[in-house]
Amino acid sequence: MENENLIPEEEVSILTLTDENGADVEFEYLDCIEYEGKEYLVLLPMEEDAAEVVILEVEPVDEENENYLAVTDEAVLDGVYAIFKEKFQDVLDFAD
């Protein structure tokens, strides 16, 4: 996938998440996709050379908070990414 903004610059949503080492990492929010009864965030790292999206499972904690979990199941990653690709096929060029 080419590293380009999906939405106009003034509307870009940036999420800052803390990794397992305590470092803050910035991501561009691309989409939230429901797959098999769960929600997943599709994010693009804000690093200049980032070419791959990151998919995180949304785990609700309470009405105001949620956790984001790394997805290790390849079938889930493939399923969420396939929905994302189909949804944005007219907007983005995806490298296979």
Q: Residue 48: what pLDDT?
A: 77
Q: Residue 1: what pLDDT?
A: 46
Distances 78 to 39, 46, 59, 67, 74 between C-alpha atoms, Å: 14, 22, 19, 21, 6
Q: Residue 83: what pLDDT?
A: 95
pTM score, two decimals? 0.78
Residue by residue, pLDDT tens for the chain (96 residues) are 444 445 455 577 999 988 889 999 999 999 999 999 999 999 999 987 777 889 999 999 998 999 999 999 999 999 999 999 998 877 766 665
